[in-house]
Structure 1
Amino acid sequence: MNHKKLMLNFLVILFLITGCNSELPDGVKLKYQALPETVDFNFHVRPILSDRCFHCHGPDENGRKADLRLDVRADVISKGHDKELFTIKPGKPWESNLIRRILTEKEEELMPPPDSKLYLTDEEKAILIKWIEQGAAYKEHWAYILPKKVALPKLKLNTWARNEIDFFVGEKLEKIGIEPSSEADKTTLIRRLTFDLIGLPPSLEDVAFFINDTTENAYEMLVDRLLASPRFGERWAWEWLDVARYSDTNGFQGDYSRDMWPWRDWVIQAFNDNMPYDDFTVKQLAGDLLPNPTKKDILATAFNRNHPYNTEGGSIPEETRVVNVFDRVETTGTVWLGLTLECARCHDHKFDAVSQKEYYQLFDYFNQTSEEGGVWMNKKIKPVLNICTPEKEKEIEQLENYLEGLYADIDKAELQVFPRELGLPSSESKIAKSTKNLNRRILSSSANNRSAGDYKSLLSYFNHWDDYASLLRKAIENTGKLQELDSEILRVMVMDEKEEARQTFVLNRGSYDGPLFDQEVFRNVPEVLPALPDGIKNNRLAFAQWLVSKEQPLTSRVTVNRYWQSFFGKGFVKTADDFGVQGALPTHPELLDWLSVDFQESGWDLKALFKKIVMSSTYRQSSKVHEKHLKLDPENKFLARATRMRLPSWMLRDQALALSGLMVDSLGGKPVKPYQPKGIWEDATFGKITYNQDHGDALYRRTLYTFWRRIVGPTVLFDNSTRLKTMVKPQLTNTPLHALTTLNDITYMEAARVLATNTIKSNAKDKDRILKMFTTVTSRKPIVAELEIFQDRLIQLQQEFRKKREEALKIATIGEFPMDESLDFIELASYTVLGSIMLNLDETITRQ
């Protein structure tokens, strides 16, 4: 024993001399002294290990090096095979090999290895040392711990807090020494609220009413009115369409059209009806498996048929089918769990505790639909939901029943007409082979797989066979009638469940043709999350219900975070698509958890969540930036002010239509094709598909209803999702290309022209007209200097257009909306350019 103790002491002394130069490096020492009293594993240590170590020493067994796993405490506190020191010895950093390896000056021993291009800062080294000193405690990843409501913090500024949100935000601000900003003025508030809740600017009447309403609950009444607006569903449906990768075409080279818009209308209605989010979830993931599902329940499942669908020549049906299942798994993982599951398609996740086997257990839930990857029905891949009137549905059902019997009679008759060996098709009979110019392909299939055209062809050869010809004539008439009725039916691709379960195997490196037959898997949820309830029928419905169960810690957090992001520009967790160990830490973990629990307790009430957010003092703050804010919180992570955000391109277009009065205000319906430069579709499809622009009211519908070709989205949009994969974090930027669109696109110029027309007709004097136009666009009156600038610019424009009358006429007539012939086109062109300038002002294109 004494000999072993002497040897251990020798190793420690040797380490202190060679590894630390008898003390911590100066930089590490300074950072160590500045550390908080307690180092937290989740918020201080795990991010370091995950970012610098887990790639080689994490969950992925096949990629693990040196047989060392740093994400499991039991592995790191035991002495490894042939190791002189413990990887980590709790309470004793100097006897821990991990500390020796991060402090050594020997490149061959240094961790992370220099060739990895990763390194630890002095602060990170200090954190690891202090953590081990404190006992090297591990914790379950914060996102996997069930959220709880903690008591509201106590604030010095109690009068500032209007609801629970403000207590948590205020506490953070007090800790870093920042006071919250004052409340924004009423004009800013109504614009912010209206854009946020319905995606449109407020009208002049709405602004005037709100400003003049001095009652105590004026703001709350405005919130309630906007939440009740049918425009609410359209605004929030847009974000869900990005999440759901919605498009009106399949994508890939052929990019065939599909009728998915009835599902889009279902989403709009769900938001307007304030459908509880748990129901919203279950119906979209498994509405077809509900007891006695309605057509709307089944329609909801189109969510998981919104993905691209490969129909290119040479595509392999089974590969397409498997890729579609991959998409469903990964979309569900991102949207409801906030996990990057795609990594585990080919191997165990490098960072999160999700194995490849667990990925395919999730895959099994979505692997049971009858979709086959290459079976077409009017260019809609089964399973499909037929949408038509009950009367037409009954007529089709009766006709199908009649045809079923007729086709059976034809098959029976062809046994006599085309004698052949048992089991062979009619095409192999001597009569079929001897009939000149007969397309024998028709006879190679059974009667129910032929078209009316096929039967006409057969009749031309066999019209002298009385009984058989009579059957053919009936088939021509009734098959044609069914095809005609069939063409009038909307078919939406939806989910279903095969009666006989399809086997699921782990796929080698995620290859569709590489099933590992010794690794069959059965549906289940990841072990790191709560288990499914005992005794349930474990299918896609059970999985969907598990996602929104109170025992499952991720869905409520991920959802609250995503919607918080919509109001503040960033979520509590900046990486809205990644709540795993590589994701960002929440800025306000207690508030995120409080809202997550409250969201569940409210019955998953989205409108209640939104109201709580917008009623808070935190939301109502001014967005003006102070020097102290920039110094202490440059990214506004702690919300000492409101966030200024560039309006997304779809909202900019809707704003232009609304301000001009062009917008056609109607809910739902078929997608429309507004203005688009010539040749865009043709170039993208090798000339095979032509863009046929709509006219009339269709040009002025909200952008939500614009036809979306997946391989080339609407050209009027920028910074939007491609709709190829789910997108839960919009990117809003500002580049000259965007300005070229908002300054030159026909929609914007036509909107400026109609705005100018309305302005000219409303007042006789230029000053009053400019005042009216500016107030319409910005919701406020211009100051004297602004008014003078616009007056001077108007005079310049009038002078220029008198010299360039042809240019003036082009501007005065741009777009299809009729020009008011009673107006002078020089004056109209001048005001149109003025309107365009106003539509492009910073405060017009920015949500303050």
Structure 2
Amino acid sequence: MKPGRLLHLFACMLITACTPGLPEAVEEAYGQLPEKIDFNFHVRPILSDNCYACHGPDAKARKADLRLDLEETAFAALKNGPGYALVAGHPLQSDAIRRILTDDPETVMPPPESNMQLTPLQQATLVKWLEQGGEWKPHWSFIPPEKAPLPSVEHADRVQNPIDHFVLAELERAGRSFSERASRESLIRRVSLDLTGLPPRPSEVDAFLQDNAPGAFERVVDRLLASSKFGERWAWDWMDAARYADTNGFQGDPERKMWPWRDWVIRAFNENMPYDQFTVEQLAGDLLPDATTEQILATAFNRNHMYNGEGGRIPEETRVENVFDRVETTGAVWLGLTLNCSRCHDHKFDPITQKEYYQFFDYFNQTSEEGLNGGGRIPPVLDLSPPADRAKVEALQAFVEQLGDEVTTYESEIFPRETGPASESPAAADLNGDNVYALSYPPVKRSTYYLGLLIGHYRDRDPKYTEMLTELRTAMNDKNRQSAQNLQVMVMDELPEARPTFVLQRGSYDQPLEAVRRDVPEVLPALPDERTFDRLELARWLVDDKNPLTARVTVNRFWQTFFGQGLVKTPEDFGAQGAKPSHPALLDWLAVQFRESGWDIKALCKLMVMSATYQQTSKVDPELLEFDPNNELLGRGPRYRLPSWMLRDQALFLSGLLRDSIGGPPVKPYQPEGIWAEATFGQKRYQRDSGADLYRRTLYTFWRRIVGPTMLFDNSARQVCAVKPLLTNSPQHALTTLNEVAYVEAARVMAERVLAEQERGADPLEYAFRLATSRYPRAAEKKILLDRLHQFRQAFIDDPEAAGELMTVGEYRSETPPASVDQAAFAALCLMILNLDETLNKQ
């Protein structure tokens, strides 16, 4: 500590009461403050929200030459006046404190035109912080995580694993404790949905209820972790983060074949690939020594983004925007930082400069992708077709290049120039813009559209040139047709010679400023001394033990899935504007534990679900709800609406319709007519599948980028990276879960299933309820269900035609004709059960 700061700290130790002379409201708020003011959790949020926009990292936006996000500048002498903005130990000698306490509109901070004003509690916090010496810390997320000793707790009998020490200690500090353990029926349903995305079978519930030996719940967890459905469930969240879709997006929205990468992700989760390897292979698998086909396939992660191939689009603009997407997706997924804020200027809140953004950009700027329109097969691509089909494409490509060389040679005669493309020849001066644009690229880089324009222009002017261009276009079409038949996946590669990278003026592709070379932000640990300057180096740096962010960000997202919200509520932003962690010591302990486990994903999942914290009942009394409405102290179990994809999978599973198979091309289930046509000006028509493909998990549904699957009402649009789920619960959602074909069909097939159980001696009503909720209905509930069943039956007796219509919804047909009235009544009842609050929620 600096000597001057030490004297200030000694002086403030003599202070036993609030600094005199404060406004009355501030004095009153002072008494509500905690004993110790922590810079990261009490002070920095105030400065970030109210000061950093004008006095933060962005030099261009900075006012009065005052920077308050760095200790050395915040406590330095003012450059535009006498005194200091902040004086440790002496708040009222601090110009910043005087300005936040004054009523004078000419000097008050924040200024009136900002529409911001500090509350008395915030003002008192800053005053007390300076009284206590003004201790400064780096932002909490940039400090390497450490494993704190497990906190001691009064009720140690409630603890099941280390997680509980941290959570229970906070609860006891607040005079609370854990809620009681959830019922076994609730627990097995909760953990089955969390780990596999599907509810348990009645036989699995029975086995758990009958297992009274120690470790019964752990055996359930181990079985679920070993299930192939584990990979399917966790792949969904990763596909949202990876912005996965089966089309490019934008006008035309051409199809692409990226599903082999989706299957790679499922395999990786099922095989419990360590997360550091999972990271390296997706970001830089192509650069690994002797990279395998699977490792190259993994890099499709960073080709999942949208691709703008609209007519008239400038290829370099498209290419640069694609690099932006890769940079910002990497920042969100692994670093939890809003790097996009630095694309056009220094970050206004986090210590990341625009130059550092483009240094990071340089890692992703070396792929051979050129921004040219190529449908859903924009090179570089990995061809996963049989060898004979790959050979056909290679032969056709060789022929295209041969013809392209011939055209190039001829163009050197008819478009003479010393250097540069044919478009720079004086002979091209009289051509229109489209033809000049076409000639600015080598012949083999021109699209068939632009070749057609040149053919039209020169048809009567140069028959030889026309013939050569026509032959080249025909060869390209032949190659494109064969490529479209092949299974080609867009992947990453590295240019043999580095492409220069520049800081771009306000992010504009055509306004380069200074040249930069690959590096990482200075606020984070430096790269190794011996550097390779490639994506592989970056990927390994992300999962290095010295990196303070990756492990924290990752465990937070897993926690978010199990508990509904992360320990940090802003999983996409661990910076100054992000939320503070509710349990910082627990977050750090989990991050270090995850690394020490060898980045073991299944071990992390097991650790979380085996905690007493996770196994609490989700029931909440009014007092607890008032005390902790958002469950930030984790004094009760998680309860929230299942995502719409899981609701559909659940309905198919409960009916017995779900097709249990992994991987393969996407499928097209039920969808209202005209959706695609309306969104694509009639260019795309939806042709739904039939048979078993109608009943695959939602994970495998074809995803058109500009209009996603219509049965999903709460999912990301898959246009950009999304790491925070949209947990919604709107009455309009019932329009889907009560009326969408898949749900109605599932209900009527579920009715067949429960009525078949009647022949085995089961009560069909109880069985239907138990299928959906994993428990038997209580007497009052059963009476309500029976009354409703009688109402349905009478309604269908009165209107048998309606019964017939209900029993023919969807494609599925049973082998035996339905008993229309009874079966229709049970179908209506099953649809109601599928829409019970308890069925729609995880609790």
Partner residue of 2:130?
132
Match of 1:660 among 655, 665, 670: 655
Alignment of 1:207-606 (within 5 A): 207-376=205-374, 379-394=376-391, 397=394, 403=399, 485-516=482-513, 519-606=514-601
The CA deviation string for residues 112-170 of structure 1, in whole angstroms up to 9 with x for no partner, is: 11221111111111111111112212111110000001111111111111111011111
The CA deviation string for residues 442-470 of structure 1, in whole angstroms up to 9 with x for no partner, is: 9x99799999xx99xx9xxxxxxxxxxxx
Segment of structure 1 superposing worse, 756-765 or 109-118 = 756-765
8 Å Cα contact 1:249/1:709 also seen in 2: yes
Instruction: Indicate how the Cα distance of structure 1 residues 765 and 824 shifts in structure 2: closer, same or farther if over 3 A, else same.
Output: farther
Instruction: Indicate how the Cα distance of structure 1 residues 626 and 788 shifts in structure 2: closer, same or farther if over 3 A, else same.
Output: closer
CA distance in 2, matches of 1:602, 1:105: 56
Partner residue of 1:463?
none
CA distance in 1, matches of 2:45, 2:155: 33
Instruction: Indicate how the Cα distance of structure 1 residues 572 and 449 shifts in structure 2: closer, same or farther if over 3 A, else same.
Output: closer
CA distance in 2, matches of 1:599, 1:379: 37
- Secondary structure (helix, strand or coil) at the match of 2:604 reads helix
Segment of structure 1 superposing worse, 28-37 or 555-564 = 28-37
The CA deviation string for residues 536-578 of structure 1, in whole angstroms up to 9 with x for no partner, is: 2111110111000001100000000011000001111111110
Match of 2:783 among 788, 794, 801: 788
How far did 1:215 drift? 1.1
CA distance in 1, matches of 2:357, 2:442: 40
8 Å Cα contact 1:674/1:700 also seen in 2: yes
The CA deviation string for residues 301-325 of structure 1, in whole angstroms up to 9 with x for no partner, is: 1111111111122222111111111
- Secondary structure (helix, strand or coil) at the match of 1:585 reads coil
CA distance in 1, matches of 2:105, 2:485: 73
The CA deviation string for residues 346-370 of structure 1, in whole angstroms up to 9 with x for no partner, is: 1110000000111111111111111
CA distance in 1, matches of 2:670, 2:820: 23
8 Å Cα contact 2:66/2:79 also seen in 1: no
Structure 1 position 700 matched with structure 2 position 695: yes
CA distance in 1, matches of 2:444, 2:589: 63
Partner residue of 2:9?
none
- Secondary structure (helix, strand or coil) at the match of 1:520 reads strand
How far did 1:76 drift? 2.6
How far did 1:486 drift? 3.7
Partner residue of 2:4?
none
Match of 2:65 among 64, 67, 75: 67
Match of 1:40 among 26, 38, 41: 38
CA RMSD of aligned residues (A): 3.3
CA distance in 1, matches of 2:328, 2:696: 33
How far did 1:420 drift? 6.7
Partner residue of 1:779?
774
CA distance in 2, matches of 1:91, 1:482: 75
Alignment of 1:793-808 (within 5 A): 793-808=788-803
The CA deviation string for residues 793-832 of structure 1, in whole angstroms up to 9 with x for no partner, is: 2221122112222211110111000145432212221111
Aligned length: 803
CA distance in 2, matches of 1:343, 1:259: 32
CA distance in 1, matches of 2:710, 2:377: 26
Instruction: Indicate how the Cα distance of structure 1 residues 346 and 395 shifts in structure 2: closer, same or farther if over 3 A, else same.
Output: closer
CA distance in 2, matches of 1:483, 1:99: 68
Instruction: Indicate how the Cα distance of structure 1 residues 446 and 78 shifts in structure 2: closer, same or farther if over 3 A, else same.
Output: closer
Instruction: Indicate how the Cα distance of structure 1 residues 94 and 805 shifts in structure 2: closer, same or farther if over 3 A, else same.
Output: same
Instruction: Indicate how the Cα distance of structure 1 residues 477 and 328 shifts in structure 2: closer, same or farther if over 3 A, else same.
Output: closer
Match of 2:719 among 718, 724, 728: 724
CA distance in 1, matches of 2:781, 2:543: 53
Segment of structure 1 superposing worse, 403-412 or 181-190 = 403-412
Alignment of 1:671-750 (within 5 A): 671-750=666-745
Alignment of 1:812-823 (within 5 A): 812-823=807-818
Partner residue of 2:834?
839
- Secondary structure (helix, strand or coil) at the match of 2:61 reads coil
Structure 2 segments unaligned to the other structure (5+ residues)? 1-17, 426-437, 456-467
8 Å Cα contact 1:407/1:448 also seen in 2: no
Partner residue of 2:11?
none
Segment of structure 1 superposing worse, 623-632 or 112-121 = 623-632
Report the residue type matching 1:254 in the other structure.
G
Partner residue of 1:617?
612
- Secondary structure (helix, strand or coil) at the match of 2:382 reads strand
How far did 1:33 drift? 2.5
Instruction: Indicate how the Cα distance of structure 1 residues 446 and 237 shifts in structure 2: closer, same or farther if over 3 A, else same.
Output: closer
Instruction: Indicate how the Cα distance of structure 1 residues 269 and 405 shifts in structure 2: closer, same or farther if over 3 A, else same.
Output: closer
Match of 2:155 among 154, 157, 181: 157
8 Å Cα contact 2:772/2:833 also seen in 1: yes
The CA deviation string for residues 344-403 of structure 1, in whole angstroms up to 9 with x for no partner, is: 111110000000111111111111111111142x641111111112454456556766x4
CA distance in 2, matches of 1:234, 1:101: 56
Report the residue type matching 2:666 in the other structure.
P
8 Å Cα contact 1:757/1:820 also seen in 2: no
Instruction: Indicate how the Cα distance of structure 1 residues 47 and 473 shifts in structure 2: closer, same or farther if over 3 A, else same.
Output: closer
Match of 2:624 among 602, 621, 629: 629
Report the residue type matching 1:384 in the other structure.
V
Identity %: 54
8 Å Cα contact 1:646/1:845 also seen in 2: yes
Instruction: Indicate how the Cα distance of structure 1 residues 481 and 104 shifts in structure 2: closer, same or farther if over 3 A, else same.
Output: closer
The CA deviation string for residues 502-536 of structure 1, in whole angstroms up to 9 with x for no partner, is: 111111111112111xx111110000001000012
Partner residue of 1:56?
54
CA distance in 2, matches of 1:251, 1:477: 27
Report the residue type matching 2:619 in the other structure.
K
Give the TM-score normalised by the residue count of structure 1: 0.89
8 Å Cα contact 2:373/2:447 also seen in 1: no
Structure 1 segments unaligned to the other structure (5+ residues)? 1-19, 429-440, 459-470
How far did 1:405 drift? 9.9
CA distance in 1, matches of 2:479, 2:50: 64
- Secondary structure (helix, strand or coil) at the match of 1:505 reads strand
The CA deviation string for residues 190-214 of structure 1, in whole angstroms up to 9 with x for no partner, is: 0001000000010011111111111
8 Å Cα contact 1:176/1:632 also seen in 2: no
Instruction: Indicate how the Cα distance of structure 1 residues 681 and 653 shifts in structure 2: closer, same or farther if over 3 A, else same.
Output: same
How far did 1:762 drift? 2.5
CA distance in 2, matches of 1:283, 1:768: 52
The CA deviation string for residues 691-725 of structure 1, in whole angstroms up to 9 with x for no partner, is: 00110011000000000001110000011000111
8 Å Cα contact 2:272/2:602 also seen in 1: yes
Alignment of 1:68-87 (within 5 A): 68-87=66-85
How far did 1:764 drift? 5.6
Segment of structure 1 superposing worse, 575-584 or 20-29 = 20-29
Instruction: Indicate how the Cα distance of structure 1 residues 808 and 629 shifts in structure 2: closer, same or farther if over 3 A, else same.
Output: same
